[in-house]
Amino acid sequence: AFMANILPRSVAVEELPLKVEFAKTIVIASMGFDSFVEENSLQELGGKMTDQEIADIFLSCPIPAWLLRDLRRILNAVTHPLCIRSSSLLEDGHAAPYAGLYKTYMLPNNQEDFRARFNILQDALRLVWASTWFEGPLAFSKSVHSTQEKDSMSVVIQEVVGRRYGDYYYPAISGVAQSHNFYPVGPMKSDDGIVHVALGLGKTVVEGEKSVRFSPKFPKHIIQFSSVEDILKNSQRYFYCLDMTGDDRPLSTDEAASLAKLEVDECLDSAAVQSLSSSYFPEENRIRDGFNPKGVPVLTFASILKYQAISLSESLFAVLQLAHKGIGCPAEIEFAVDLDPDPAKSVLYILQMRPMVKIGDSYHVSISDDERERAFCHSKHALGHGVFESINDIIIVKPEDFEPGETIAIAAEIKAFNKRMVANDLSYLLVGPGRWGSADRWLGIPVQWQDISGVRGFVEIRTREFKADPSQGSHFFQNITSLGIPYITINEDEDRFDYDFFKGQEVIDESRFLQHVRIKHTMIIKIDGVAPECVMFAEDRHKVESVSFKYFTSD
């Protein structure tokens, strides 16, 4: 609503070559939630109930009659696929946004029987409301010392942007754009912003799966695509879409039940796939721009980023600047693109806009040469800013026992450790290989927020097996940055993490893959977010005698 109000007033945006619009949207105000809770006496709900038990209670409760009349009126006029989104009071706050913790449901909304469509819409609404009491938001609330009593849930009903391709419906492009880039490289600057794009629904981006990352100021400068091998390894192989087969599967706490995950290679007849793909020719070990049925399709978005078939990067940069100026702080936008065969008819749709919490330079942090020398951890790829002295417990994925195929099992062990840590009111630093919080188990350890709710710092060891770019567009990443949690990346050639330092520390607990270590003396984490640079050292430690990268194997 804010962007729709200020967009027409901007001369710069009016001059954009790519048309910018807003997905048709209806808001059920928080009074609907409040009435539902009050009429069904749900105020004291919670305790030790599971998400499914809470969902079952909500699904059994009637929606207020006045709201049902409005919903019926809406559904009589709309047969387009719908997205039922949460919009809680706490969700997009400046201090600690609850990004991605509540439920979102995609509905085909194409059943011939009106009653079937109406019942599914009601269930989606109930389940979004129910997610206010689910484990993830409650764990996050505890982390930020908030209380659920302060929350209230509005619900956004929004038409899904895209087109139907056979039995499936999806946008050609979806993504997340941020006006501040926490990891600028090459010619990029922090204020140039960063964009993550993917084929299909935005679930790929917000859950940290493979997507294309670029600066809207430098769309041709894509670090993850620096070689043929990098392109093949880092390009998107799967995408999400809405299943339009129209069956009457009941909704559940699994919000992805109505979605399908397709392989790009299976959808070569899709106009969207053809428009965004380049072609790999194994016999030449070469990737040629443009779709060629004789080659292997590789999603590079070259037609958009390299050849500017539509002016997506220019339009996104202008919209980000407008949003940043309008709200007075860095902004994040979720968007989708309806790609038409005629580029002039393609449309950039803004789906959501929220303030983005920037870990800024509110005060100066100085790192001395002596601190660099005696640090057991030194990184030039650090997210955060400040001096942290209250973390003495470290949970480490043991390098000698780590197995790339066991990331799901490792995530389960972390969840168990976290439960004990939280019960004892202990915060901790989490150290391990790959991207934390990725939904792709082959990019890192797929922990969710409730699995690591006691964490107060991350170290990501970038190994040969796990060398993924930081997932800045994901909801997991958004929650980390909003809480000011340090996120330190260790690269083999540039940074240092000394595992030998921990051999002399107290081992509190151990499992197959993990070790809980407690530092004997005060551990200090210093991060200069402007550089960016991080050092970690114990207060009485004078020199790091040895450095070992046990995750890395020699050639």
Of 325, 318, 327, nearest to 350 by C-alpha is 318
pLDDT of residue 189: 83
Say if CB 94 and CB 171 are below 8 A apart. Answer: no
pLDDT of residue 552: 38
Structure tokens at 360: 């800024």
Q: Is the peptide bond before 8 cis (omega within 30 degrees of 0)?
A: no
DSSP state of 163: E
Whole-number Å distance between alpha carbons of 438 and 476: 8
pLDDT digits (tens, 9 = 90+) for 30-54: 999 999 999 999 987 766 788 899 9
User: How much of the chain is helix, strand and coil, in % rounded to 5?
Assistant: 30, 25, 45
Distance from the first to the final alpha carbon of the chain: 55
Of 389, 391, 386, 382, nearest to 365 by C-alpha is 386
Let me know the angle formed at the C-alpha of 223 by 220 and 227, rounded to the nearest 5 degrees: 95
Task: Determine which helix (DSSP H) or strand (DSSP E) holds 288, and give its type and residue range.
Answer: strand 286-288
Let me know the angle formed at the C-alpha of 145 by 141 and 151, rounded to the nearest 5 degrees: 45
Let me know the angle formed at the C-alpha of 464 by 376 and 543, rounded to the nearest 5 degrees: 10
Let me know the angle formed at the C-alpha of 488 by 483 and 491, rounded to the nearest 5 degrees: 160
Helix 30-39 crosses helix 114-130 at what angle (to 10 degrees)? 90
pLDDT digits (tens, 9 = 90+) for 223-261: 778 788 888 988 999 999 999 986 667 888 788 888 999
Cβ atoms within 10 Å of 50's Cβ, excluding its own: 11
Task: Determine which helix (DSSP H) or strand (DSSP E) holds 338, and give its type and residue range.
Answer: strand 331-338
Of 478, 455, 491, nearest to 382 by C-alpha is 491
Q: Which positions of the chain have pLDDT values less than 70? A: 11-14, 46-47, 90-100, 140-151, 182-183, 185-186, 246-248, 357-363, 465, 467-475, 477-479, 481-482, 540-555
- What's the chain's length in residues? 555
pLDDT digits (tens, 9 = 90+) for 491-550: 877 899 999 998 889 999 999 999 999 998 888 999 987 778 999 998 764 433 333 333
Residues 6+ apart with CB under 8 A from 454: 143, 418, 421, 422, 426, 427, 428
Could you tell me where the DSSP H helices lie in 114-193?
Answer: 114-130, 135-143
Pairing of strands 347-355, 19-22: parallel
DSSP state of 405: G
pLDDT of residue 453: 87
C-alpha of 37 from chain center: 30
Whole-number Å distance between alpha carbons of 302 and 41: 55
Cβ atoms within 10 Å of 52's Cβ, excluding its own: 13
Say if CB 354 and CB 324 are below 8 A apart. Answer: no
Count Cβ atoms within 10 A of the Cβ of residue 14 and give its class: 0-12 exposed, 13-18 middle, 19 or more buried. Answer: exposed
Q: For residue 424, report the phi and psi dihedrals to the nearest 5 degrees.
A: -100, 10
DSSP state of 246: -
Structure tokens at 380: 């030039």
With H, G, I as helix, E, B as strand and everything else as coil, classify residue 114. helix
